Amino acid sequence: MPDATERRVVVTGPPSGTRRARRPTGHSRPRTEIDEQTTLGHTYVRSLMRSQLRAALAVFAVLVLLVGPLPLVFAATPDARRLEWAVLGFGLYAPLVLLALWYVRRAERNERDFVRLVEDR
């Protein structure tokens, strides 16, 4: 008959000194919500997509307001061929570059904010 002091013990978890403090079960991390594709995770991703779309629509609106009236201006002044080239070659270049820089910074800031939210910092 086996001795009572020599029982086998099955270890099913990490040692007690290495456990992390767990959060209450009602609170789960946003990254987990996204990975598991829950409704809340879907809401997080939709918020990022919505903020990116908002930035893109703002750039598009400015672009339409900046470039849209040019054909009308050029049609109103048919003798000003040099003006057309000057406006198209030099006048639009700087605003388009600034608009592109603003959009890239805005998109990166949206993504940074989203990562901060997901990483729970």
Domain layout of the chain by residue ranges: 29-119
Name every residue whose Cβ is closer than 8 Å to that of residue 19 and which is 6 or more positions away in sequence.
13
As averages over each run of 10 residues, the pLDDT of the chain (121 residues) reads 68 62 55 69 84 96 93 86 85 92 96 84 55
Sign of CA pseudo-dihedral 37, 38, 43, 44: negative
Query: Taken in order 54, 109, 111, 117, is the CA torsion positive or negative?
Result: negative
pLDDT attached to residue 56: 96
- Per-residue pLDDT, 108: 95
Q: Work out the number of other CB atoms within 10 angstroms of the CB of residue 23.
A: 10
What's the residue count for the chain?
Answer: 121
DSSP string, the chain: ---TTS------S--GGGPPPPPPTT---HHHHHHTT-HHHHHHHHHHHHHHHHHHHHHHHHHHHHHTTHHHHHHH-TT-HHHHHHIIIIITHHHHHHHHHHHHHHHHHHHHHHHHHHHT-
Is residue 47 within 8 Å of 111, Cβ to Cβ?
no
pTM of the entire structure? 0.65
